[in-house]
Amino acid sequence: MVTAFRDIYSVLWVDLRFLRRHWLRTLATSLVNPLLYLVAFGYGLGSGIRFDGYNYLAFVMPGIIALTAMSSSYGGAGLKLHVDRLFYKCFDEYLMSPISLFSLAVGKTLIGVVRGLISTVAILVVGVLISDALMVTPLFVLVLVISCFVFSFLGVLVGLVAKSHQDMGTFSTLVILPMTFLSGTFFSLSQLPEAVTAVLYMFPLTHSSLCLRAAALDQPFPWLSFAALLGFGVAFFAGCMWALKKASV
């Protein structure tokens, strides 16, 4: 166990050094989209609209936080891994080192979690300041951390299986972009037909948004969505282990 933690930290330490040198640029770029969404939807299109008894700004903030967790964790873990693997050709050194695949997967995942938490905490501070309806409870924090892990696992998985830079762009266009706008981040799923809602429940961001919104606004907590979010995390981690084993052969 001690060896595993040491190996995980060794993998994470390299990415933490890079993050320490570029933390301001990383934070600024990760907050551009959430702040634009907040201004455009929260103050622009959503002014005067109410959902579930809350003003639209309070309703949309948990969705924007979930979206920030997805984009920062996915990009923070997946894009750097992809560049290291295909451009700098340095990822093979990890595979040849005496580090277990489990430690390698978790170590590469944790940098995405760290970046996701930094970005979400920043946008959460903004949300608490502008909306007194939001509550930061232990359950909210737990869901936020799990969400960062889920999307970071997804980023590592895609970074490992993508064969070109175009593949990363294609996945972002076909999967990440639809999740951004169709996972209940900006609207209530109750407004949609049941067939469409059933499809949207196949997206992990849908469950993250539902859980964070319920925890932040003191609504009945969707435990089935929480279990689904955990299931996505287990599935993505299993995919990471499969991809690493295939790459190490």
pTM for the whole structure: 0.89
Query: What is the predicted pLDDT for the residue at 51?
Result: 66
Nearest to 82 by CA among 25, 141, 163: 163
Q: What is the pLDDT of residues 152-168, one digit of tens each?
A: 999 999 999 998 888 88
Range 10-13 contact pairs with CB under 8 angstroms and sequence separation of 24 or more: 10/99, 10/107, 11/94, 11/99, 11/103, 11/104, 11/106, 11/107, 11/108, 12/107, 12/110, 12/111
* pLDDT recorded at residue 52: 64
pLDDT of residue 228: 97
Distance from CA of residue 150 to its chain's centroid? 6
* pLDDT < 50 regions, the chain: none
